[in-house]
A and B are shown apart, each in its own frame.
Chain A
Amino acid sequence: MSGRLRGALSDWVRRNRWGLVALPVVLVLAAAANAQRLDDYWWDQTFQRATATASTGEWVRHSEEFLDALGTTTRTLEVRVGEPVEVVSFLGDDALPVPVDLPEGLVAVGVPLDFRAEPDQVLGGCSVALLDADGNRYEPSDLGAVPQPFDPCLLDGSPGPSYSLSPDQPHQAAPGAARPTSWSTRPVVVLPDDVEITAVRVWWLPPYFVEVSLP
């Protein structure tokens, strides 16, 4: 490089030094200003924050915040996931076993869930899924007509308090629907019989979830 060119270059750098200092900062700010979707659609809407991980048979504590007409409330519960087992029959109305009728290649799998929570906790609207190694989610299904609770984490007759729809409606169970301090459910998932299940996930609203890995 000739001395003259070098001189011109250092001249240019000197004249633009503050611009050069500001450039990386401005680039970071510009990217951050457009990153709200990362927060809205990815960080908040997908499963990003496990509140607990465990193995089958272990109690874990799950706590998260939810929003309803009374504002933000925290719910806390303990859950224990048992080993999923294939369901081949269930007790019919006449107390006789009814075989599960599914198309070939499909199996019904029951997921034993035990819960412990204070009766004042609002626990409606949970979801349960079996996961395979690729992260596919297999969720409870009516296929096969195996009786199962409407809400996979609650007993149909005693769901406990429901969400508040107006500011003057407290979190209160409907008459006769009070929830015991511990209870068990068994949602039923229908999936292809060649799927290898590696984990069970329980959640209310993403991004929070409980994940239990299978042995």
Chain B
Amino acid sequence: MTWFVRAGVGVTVLAALALGRVVVDTWPSPGSDVDPFVRSVEVGETAVLRFADLTLSNVRSAAVVDDGLEVARTPGTWLLVDLTLVPRGQPLVVSPHVVVVDAEGREYRPDRAGYPWTEAPTGVAWAWTVAVELPPDALEGAVVRVAADGLDDRRDDVAEVDLGIDADRAAELADSRFTVEVPATGPAS
């Protein structure tokens, strides 16, 4: 091979690498090797996750929530979801991470203190009611995401529960005047 051909091959390889980089940057791949495994279910269905079987059985709303320690009002709406978790493999020592994501992608988390979590034994159905404060316009099309670890869900299972809230149901939920008691976490009866 002459030096001219060698240089040509080198330039061609570099150009191909550069082109590949431009293509990847311009059209990023939606999937990535660190994405969580999203298990999509509807209300009442069970999502089988690495760390637990999770069922979201009920969607309610309230104007005031009372967890026995504190009574909290909101100018918006309290969205309450009743969850049942059956820990798999080992106890759920730390509370799983729950977030409500609305149709625009905005995220709402349980109140600043979170909810007291008592360690859920392996294989025992554990009832957990989570209240999230949000503006009424976030209700329609909202989904609940549950992960074992809120800071690091890479390559881990994440449940995504479609709450099935259409415009009518959103208006109904937003209109709640109820005070709802949020029970302590414990074995499902």
Contact = CB atoms under 8 A, between A and B. Distances in A.
Interface of A: 102-103, 106, 129, 135-139, 141-143, 189-192, 195
B44 interface: no
B189 interface: yes
Nearest to B88: A136
Nearest to B89: A136
A190 B124 contact: yes
Contact of A141 (B88, B121, B188, B189): B121
A139 B90 contact: yes
Interface string B153-189: 0000000000000000000000000000000001111
Contact of B123 (A135, A136, A142, A143): A136
Contacts of B90: 129, 136-137, 139
Interface of B: 88-91, 118-119, 121-124, 186-189
Contact of A139 (B91, B186, B187, B189): B91
B188 to A, nearest CB: 8
A142 B120 CA distance: 10
Contact of B124 (A106, A135, A137, A142): A106
A80 B154 CA distance: 40
A141 B120 CA distance: 8
A190 B88 CA distance: 14
Contacts, number: 44
20 contacts: A103-B187, A103-B188, A103-B189, A106-B187, A135-B89, A136-B88, A136-B90, A137-B90, A137-B91, A139-B122, A141-B91, A141-B119, A142-B119, A143-B121, A143-B124, A143-B186, A143-B187, A190-B124, A191-B122, A191-B123
A142 B121 CA distance: 10
Nearest to B121: A141
A192 B91 contact: no
Most buried by B among A129, A142, A143: A143
B187 A136 contact: no
Given A139-B121, A191-B122, 9 more contacts: A103-B189, A106-B124, A135-B89, A136-B123, A137-B89, A137-B122, A139-B90, A139-B122, A141-B121
Contacts of A136: 88-90, 122-123
Contacts of B122: 136-139, 191
A195 B121 contact: no
B123 A192 contact: yes
Contacts of A143: 121, 124, 186-187
A11 to B, nearest CB: 13
Contacts of A139: 90-91, 121-122
Contact of A191 (B88, B118, B124, B188): B124
Contacts of B88: 136
Nearest to A138: B122
A195 B119 CA distance: 19
A60 to B, nearest CB: 23
A86 B131 CA distance: 37
